[in-house]
Structure 1
């Protein structure tokens, strides 16, 4: 059956296999296996195709239970839903199968309608979960998307921590020309082909993704060989394809490489560095690969200095323990503290932990520092108690290296005994990422420490290393939410739901929750509403010295940090994790049955999980449903009742718009015909009486998860439609960019959540646009504005907000930080991309920029300062950018772009080279003729190589030390038997130190005539 889902049937009985195949063959593609071994063999090559597996539990060579277990424990197969089957009357078998990973259960002899219903439900459930939770592919190319790239790259780094990696950014130079000339469909074909070629070129040992438009990122093991060869092969392959589909534009792929030296850096920051390297070579002839350089030598020098000082510093008490108070959110009382280390170095002064902790973790010194901190905390706590005060809880960090110390438990026990401290006040923090390095070792040590009375805290949860599933496996008492996770989630529209989900889940698991990095009233308000237990951050108190902390404790109310005494088992945690997928609050279960004992049995099973409502017949139930439909999560309904039976009630529920989506599980003593009829008119599932507790709970849970998944999908579509309508109302009709109202709102929202957030605001104004309207009319003017909008869309990230303010004025808000040099490079590139011809008129762009938080922390100030910088750009001749620095005028660099045309008209030969590298940055037409070279072959290459075929700088060229930026230096030059004068001077060319050289025949009067020579060799000394 074409495009039908594939079902694998595993049964030793040929007759049973064929019966089941015949039932399903009209709707599914069937694969048959006679033994468990045969099934495993089929799975090895077909597991990606198989939508579901039906397994007979009563096989001889490999019984169904063994096969179930093997499939469930194999990662490639474990996501395939399994339906187990057996003979009638064995609930024990059904329960065992469900515990081993089966998703549902069917019985022999087979009822065709029931089997089809259960199989369809099982497959739909898994499909819905995939749609909601497993969207990892790019929507255009065969590569992954950005989100998956970030996650997978981090996992690769964790799994292969000893290897070195590169992240590279691939960007097609001027790809917009393809879209403009041949259409978006052709452009998409090229991007798809490039995605295929990237996957083939970089192989399986890499993570490849398309982020946006024509920008691709790859994580791969560090390459010692040149990337140029790989990029050349890739470029040739894609250009061959481009030629075959009739596109006459040559594709140039720019490659930016970031060699990763510190895997702890955020993946996004690594990508930014690779992208920055790419931006630096776009538009430069002959350059296809660039590397990001970031003062590595200086950092190595700093690390060496720190390493040389660390032992001396420890002996001389340069390290100090500070205490950051934790507060109970409900009472705002101090409830303990976290011990933090600070380094007061005699040479370098105050050093924050970020400057030395990562280095100590790498060189192993962290274990000595940790033991110093532990003892300092115990000593301070003993001092506090000896003053007659009540004890308080202190969190102390346990590093990865400590975990592998076989004496760790003994060391901590001995310390607590030495200072006579109750261990329940000594909380041990283990960072979330440590659990992924060696989970078995971590769990073993943590179990030992908890057995000795030490509470365990998982630190930095949400920093990107793990998932919620981890909470089901590890024995902890406190969940500490990473400050970055808290801030980021509170800033995102959808984040509050995720954060609330995590807090709710932790509380279900009997874990206390601490939110780190809390700084604002709004964060406190939201966390309080989510019932977060404890917070720490600058909102209440910064880290304090011991004396300052003791003073705080003595002045205010102090509460003991409460930890529940009940321990949730791993199995219970797994049950909670699955149940949480249903929703934070499960609402009401309506039990409809005329037999009281039947209702009581169900109520006893579910009353801890639901608010229970009862009805004795369909009529009474319908009255309740009509007035409480929004509160009901699931209905448990008997079929055979007086007044109105279950069939009638079920029909009414499904026909009513407000109740049709409520999940209904039918319970009955009826036969298969009753089950078949109930499923046909809309029951979500059917459970026979008498009830098996495990089976009934499993069925109810599956029904609710499926209903929740379908609701998520439906809400997603509705939200998408609503968002599209909202965007249509808030977008400029001509360009599709946002309106002024949107950018003002987004900027204000940004500062409401990030009062001192890093951001950049740009104002852009087109030069000479009025001439286009006046000369060629408004239709041509509108086309020009659309083109500018397309350039802006291609030049910025999806996180950036681009707006048309009106007329030919645009603005961009970038919520990110950038070095000044990087910002200048970005703006320079933008000016170049926005320089184009409309018939005979040259359109350029003037830009004003304002950086936050340095010069603005609100929309109006950003706008005013960027506008002031824009006016300054206009004054300096258009086609410029200016960066506001607190003054009305801030020239950024020599305005070279506006003088290109003038230099081309000079009678003199003019060329510009980089001061340090001698690379050619510019040459006019006369210079090309004089030197008999093509400009395009010279740009970016050494001037002495392309002009004079030399291997080192020419002897007649002035040295850097001889030049100045104040005046020209005149030197003689003999070229091709002719005498010339070269005038040289230092300038800034696009922010790069450079020398400009003018070559002329004219001789100043005070110079003696130059003797003509047949060559250009150095004279004898």
Structure 2
């Protein structure tokens, strides 16, 4: 329905809502049409709306939009609800605070996610508080839309508010888009190096090459900004090739200088494999500067494996077969971590620094870190943790057997010039690990301090030398639910086949009082929820048993038993 020659359509034919373009046209024509300068604009986006259209047809998609409209009208009663096109709806509020809008967004997200046509879709929103300035309405809308885009891909965040910090980030991203070609040509990109140290010795044993952009007109631009932009415009492979070239050149300079030098690791992303022949780029740089392949370490970010590239595994195998080390970077950052360990071979597992951010606040963090180190060592993979900032973090990672440490506790990333100025400190043989020491400590690093059999050769098995059995008691009748091989070896050593044989020996070789005492032990563990330990004689062997009550169901009770033949072990 038009409003005159040359005018915009007033209403959206699908939702019946006023269209944003028409609404803003009216505010431009007549300042009294709507008090826009006193409002808050909330821009909504339905993520993956295309999937709804594909699953339920365009008609189903239209029905979903109408459901969305109805919920907005209900939750934002009295405010202006508009259609901005595609899967975008807009609310212009005069009466709500940002917190009140945020509460409604969270309710809306839950409701629409549970819609029959929702496909658990994520509702995202951006909020712009109009500050009274005379910006054009389209600029106001762009700012709300920009805030919305900030939370795309962030699962646990429903909305963002446009503020000066977001505006600054946006301006920086625009600067990156407009100046990155110049930065490559004039070498405004610099390589900084962060030392990696051996946990057992504190000696430097490697470096990570990190990209920094030093713009002459604004100083250092955050890597979080320019890397994100270059990934989105598919130019990150050009930056990575640049870093690889300079890392090899700097390593050659280190070798020729006569000072100590170490392996340098460079980061490879998914797009390096998709958009370039990354292996040729690396091989060419290594050949050009005559670098031993084991001195250029390749860190493949865990996100690279999220794209299911069929060629990725092949290239990784080729790298390792030819003498390069390949590390799995950012382990635990949220992708298919364990699938990657199952599908690919790595020399090092680099634990994501985000684990350490909750180190002091979440007790589970230490358990998770220890489990990761334990798992890696069982698979024959060395470990490194990044982001270490405190003595406590360092000591803990050292205690659980993590071999290499990286983080501000030892050093921030430094430019090459800093190393030249501090060569006596950073490049001396006293503070750097030698190649012989590297091999020496790598072998030591294979010992798993968290394993109950740390000295046993790893055979890719899951055996335990702790003899344990789970036994169920129903009145005075017992049955073994589970017994590992170590437990069975122990009971066989004193002439029993299973727990039933043990009980027969108990009744046969002990007095009624002793048997009754054994039964009371079981009752005591349940009543007091404690673990108890006692010794008994069987076939002239001294047997030690540790018992813990686990659970009860009616007249059934279940216990964990650890049993050892002390006489046999004393004679070994």
SS for the counterpart of 1:404 is: helix
Equivalent in the alignment of 2:236:
366
Bigger Rg over Cα:
1
In the aligned structure 2, how far is the partner of 1:397 from the partner of 1:382? 19
Cα distance, 1:527 vs structure 2: 0.9
In the aligned structure 2, how far is the partner of 1:485 from the partner of 1:342? 24
Would you say 1:648 and 2:562 are equivalent positions?
no
Closer, same or farther: CA 555–641 of 1 in aligned 2, 3 Å: closer
Equivalent in the alignment of 1:636:
488
Closer, same or farther: CA 316–476 of 1 in aligned 2, 3 Å: same
Cα distance, 1:416 vs structure 2: 0.7
In the aligned structure 2, how far is the partner of 1:302 from the partner of 1:410? 33
Would you say 1:201 and 2:54 are equivalent positions?
no
In the aligned structure 1, how far is the partner of 2:452 from the partner of 2:270? 39
Cα distance, 1:351 vs structure 2: 1.5
Q: CA RMSD in A?
A: 4.8
Closer, same or farther: CA 441–522 of 1 in aligned 2, 3 Å: same
Equivalent in the alignment of 1:422:
292
Equivalent in the alignment of 2:174:
304
Equivalent in the alignment of 1:538:
408
What are structure 2's unaligned runs of at least 5 residues? Answer: 1-46, 53-64, 76-106, 127-143, 468-483, 507-514, 532-547, 554-572
Checking the alignment, whether the CA contact within 8 Å between 2:294 and 2:325 is kept in structure 1 is yes
Cα distance, 1:366 vs structure 2: 1.6
What are structure 1's unaligned runs of at least 5 residues? Answer: 1-154, 161-165, 174-192, 208-218, 224-255, 275-291, 569-579, 589-603, 614-631, 663-707, 715-1021
Equivalent in the alignment of 1:460:
330
Equivalent in the alignment of 2:544:
none
In the aligned structure 2, how far is the partner of 1:444 from the partner of 1:353? 30
Alignment of 1:603-642 (within 5 A): 609-611=463-465, 634-636=486-488
Closer, same or farther: CA 448–639 of 1 in aligned 2, 3 Å: closer
Closer, same or farther: CA 367–611 of 1 in aligned 2, 3 Å: same
**1:762-805 deviation digits (Å, cap 9, x = unpaired):** xxxxxxxxxxxxxxxxxxxxxxxxxxxxxxxxxxxxxxxxxxxx
Checking the alignment, whether the CA contact within 8 Å between 1:586 and 1:609 is kept in structure 2 is no
Closer, same or farther: CA 204–650 of 1 in aligned 2, 3 Å: farther
SS for the counterpart of 1:557 is: coil
In the aligned structure 1, how far is the partner of 2:464 from the partner of 2:347? 26
Give the one of 419, 428, 443 matched to 1:554. 428
Cα distance, 1:429 vs structure 2: 1.1
Equivalent in the alignment of 2:186:
316
Equivalent in the alignment of 2:321:
451
Checking the alignment, whether the CA contact within 8 Å between 1:428 and 1:457 is kept in structure 2 is yes
Aligned residues: 379
SS for the counterpart of 1:514 is: strand
Q: Which has the higher contact order (CA 8 A, sep 6+)?
A: 2
Equivalent in the alignment of 1:336:
206
Give the one of 515, 518, 536 matched to 2:385. 515
In the aligned structure 2, how far is the partner of 1:299 from the partner of 1:538? 25
Closer, same or farther: CA 521–195 of 1 in aligned 2, 3 Å: closer
Closer, same or farther: CA 364–439 of 1 in aligned 2, 3 Å: closer
Equivalent in the alignment of 2:256:
386
Cα distance, 1:372 vs structure 2: 1.3
Give the one of 431, 442, 451 matched to 1:585. 451
Checking the alignment, whether the CA contact within 8 Å between 2:269 and 2:303 is kept in structure 1 is no
TM-score (norm 2): 0.56
Cα distance, 1:605 vs structure 2: 10
Equivalent in the alignment of 1:188:
none
In the aligned structure 1, how far is the partner of 2:242 from the partner of 2:495? 77
In the aligned structure 1, how far is the partner of 2:163 from the partner of 2:459? 62
Checking the alignment, whether the CA contact within 8 Å between 1:205 and 1:221 is kept in structure 2 is no
Equivalent in the alignment of 1:61:
none
**1:967-1005 deviation digits (Å, cap 9, x = unpaired):** xxxxxxxxxxxxxxxxxxxxxxxxxxxxxxxxxxxxxxx
Cα distance, 1:634 vs structure 2: 4.7
SS for the counterpart of 2:299 is: strand
SS for the counterpart of 1:361 is: helix
In the aligned structure 2, how far is the partner of 1:478 from the partner of 1:516? 12
Would you say 1:486 and 2:376 are equivalent positions?
no
SS for the counterpart of 2:246 is: helix
Checking the alignment, whether the CA contact within 8 Å between 1:345 and 1:351 is kept in structure 2 is yes
Alignment of 1:832-911 (within 5 A): none
SS for the counterpart of 2:373 is: helix
Would you say 1:398 and 2:250 are equivalent positions?
no
**1:885-923 deviation digits (Å, cap 9, x = unpaired):** xxxxxxxxxxxxxxxxxxxxxxxxxxxxxxxxxxxxxxx
Closer, same or farther: CA 539–402 of 1 in aligned 2, 3 Å: same
TM-score (norm 1): 0.33
